[in-house]
Amino acid sequence: MLRDDLLRQASHYATDGGLVGDLTRLIAHASVSQSEGTREALYAYLAEEIDPMLTALGFETETFDNPLEGGAPLLIASRIEDASLPTILIYGHGDVCNGEAHRWREGLSPFSLTVEGERLYGRGTADNKIQHLINIKALGLLIKARDRLGFNVKIIIEMAEETGSYGLREFFQAHRGKLAADVLIASDGPRLAADTPTMFMGSRGGLAFHLEVNLRDSDHHSGNFGGLLADPAIILSHAIASLTDQRGQIRIPEWRPTSLTPDIRAALKDLPPRKHDADWGEAELTPSERVFGWNSLAVLAMSSGNIAAPQNAISGAARATLQLRFVVGTDMDNILPSLRRHLDAHGFSMVEVKPARGNVFPATRFSPDHPWVRFVQQSLTRTAGKAPHVLPNLAGSLPNDVFTDILGLPTIWVPHAHAECGQHGPNEHALMPIAEEGMRLMTGLFLDIAENAARLKQEAAESSAAP
């Protein structure tokens, strides 16, 4: 009876105006961590929204300056009911990408929530404000109904995820005790399919870098010097083309992972099809294996001359920014050195390799056989009435390594967005049906944890002690 009543309350919060009202306030904060943002807006989001929301639920909160100069603030909240009970760590990020208001269609504004049918438009509706809002509100429903959680919770909200989680690793090293827990259960990223819950236990890593060809300080007339002076754009194009074949299959041996093992392939076997080009990527792999089990290279930007007003001249320089998304089984420290060796071996010693600014997201992956993973999967299945899609890792990148490598936690992510949500671009939006189901899923999950807390603590301990 309690479970059914809580799930009804969760649905009502999403559909009867509660979610829209709360999300309207959150979206109104232009908490941008990129070039359009201000430090004041980042602090305000925590002070005016998150801190009061959690304090009202009986959490003790503390806001910290970033350990690195110029970094964004972070907030830790904790509600400890009994030290013998399991402690759940929940993560979210309140920062968003640049609003880029000029790119949004007419009638929409990045920092004003707009509801059109089932769509909720605004910067942060998908990434990540609605996601941590859902998880916090689900905790609140449980506290209100039972006057307790029945387990312990710690929450970390950072404000620099969209700039590579700048300072997050240093912060976790300095505050390991404050963040100690039994498991991370958090929400970010998209579902694999909008109509089915997803859970994943890690993420692909991401490393960006620049390739530059600087041959001379000025441009030269393409008639007077054509055929005499080397063209840096042509050289750079050939250098980039040497990294993959014409369908994007990676040619650098060190960039080809060793971790697409039979058990990972089995986990990816029955996933639904994704949008893909049939003749792109590793030919011998399925689309799911290409995006969740393999590495991919992307050219993010290229420049030489002025494309808006081309001149009859040979440019003096050319530059490109590329990104490798990589899975566990790739030596992250060898990515750029192996690139340098490859370029030299193929006659491109004049191409400079420079790391891009910002932190690198390492690749992570956690075993789907862990007791916590099985329990979350069973709870989501019970609430949704169907099994979730279980991924070994997200195709995108998250700071999951701070939880696995620094805190030593099993990590489970339950996203409340969908793949076509427009995150990082114009017209970002959430879907109300996913938000409503997300409220039900997390409310049911937290209740199930409360009712099985002692057993979960014991099973996890036995799993960790097993050889």
Question: Quick check: 147 pLDDT over 70?
Answer: yes
Q: Which of 92, 87, 109 is nearest to 100 (CA)?
A: 109
More confident residue, 414 or 466: 414
Count CA within 13 A, CB hemisphere, residue 452.
16
Question: Which of the residue ranges 82-91, 234-243, 267-276 would you say has the lowest mean pLDDT?
Answer: 267-276
439: which 2 tokens? 């409220």
Q: Peptide bond before 152: cis, by omega within 30 degrees of 0?
A: no
Give 49's contacts (C-beta < 8 A, 6+ positions apart): 25, 26, 29, 94
401: which 2 tokens? 């390594």
Q: Where are the domains of the chain?
A: 2-203+364-465, 205-270+278-355
* CA torsion through residues 254, 260, 261, 262, sign: negative
Please tell me the distance from the alpha carbon of residue 4 to that of residue 56, in angstroms, as a whole number: 25
Percent of the chain whose predicted confidence (pLDDT) is above 90: 91
Looking only at the bridges linking them, the beta strands covering 198-200 and 220-221 are unpaired
Please tell me the distance from the alpha carbon of residue 255 to that of residue 296, in angstroms, as a whole number: 9
pLDDT in tens, 417-446: 999 999 999 999 999 999 999 999 999 999
Adjacent-strand bridge partners of 61: 77
Q: Please give the mean pLDDT across all residues of the chain.
A: 95
Instruction: Determine the pLDDT at residue 267.
Output: 87
Instruction: Determine the pLDDT at residue 138.
Output: 98
| 2-203+364-465 maps to CATH 3.40.630.10 | yes
Distances (CA, A) of 398 to 73, 248, 265, 359, 364: 18, 24, 22, 11, 9
> In angstroms, what is the C-alpha Rg of the chain?
24
Q: Peptide bond before 128: cis, by omega within 30 degrees of 0?
A: yes
Instruction: Determine the pLDDT at residue 467.
Output: 59
Neighbours of 422 (CB within 10 A): 19
Length of the chain: 467
Instruction: Determine the pLDDT at residue 366.
Output: 81
Neighbours of 457 (CB within 10 A): 17
Please tell me the distance from the alpha carbon of residue 287 to that of residue 289, in angstroms, as a whole number: 5
Q: How confident is the model at residue 364 (pLDDT cuts 50, 70, 90)?
A: very high
Q: Which of 340, 326, 341 is nearest to 290 (CA)?
A: 326
Question: Quick check: 182 pLDDT over 80?
Answer: yes
335: which 2 tokens? 């990515």
Q: How confident is the model at residue 207 (pLDDT cuts 50, 70, 90)?
A: very high
Instruction: Determine the pLDDT at residue 232.
Output: 98
Q: To which H or E segment does residue 41 belong?
A: helix 39-45
DSSP state of 88: E
Question: Quick check: 466 pLDDT over 70?
Answer: no
Instruction: Determine the pLDDT at residue 465.
Output: 65
Fold agreement between 2-203+364-465 and 205-270+278-355 = no
**Backbone angle region of 115, left / alpha / beta, with phi > 0 → left and psi within -120 to 50 → alpha:** beta
Q: What is the mean pLDDT of residues 223-230?
A: 97
User: If one looks up domain 205-270+278-355 in CATH, what number appears?
Assistant: 3.30.70.360
Please tell me the distance from the alpha carbon of residue 416 to that of residue 384, in angstroms, as a whole number: 13
Please tell me the distance from the alpha carbon of residue 368 to that of residue 393, in angstroms, as a whole number: 10
pLDDT in tens, 60-118: 999 999 999 999 999 999 999 999 999 999 999 999 999 999 999 999 999 999 999 99
Question: Structure pTM?
Answer: 0.90
Chain-centre distance for alpha carbon 428: 15
Looking only at the bridges linking them, the beta strands covering 119-121 and 60-64 are unpaired
Question: Quick check: 188 pLDDT over 90?
Answer: yes
pLDDT in tens, 150-177: 999 999 999 999 998 999 999 999 999 9
Q: What is the mean pLDDT of residues 225-249?
A: 97
Report H helices in 251-315. Answer: 262-268, 287-292
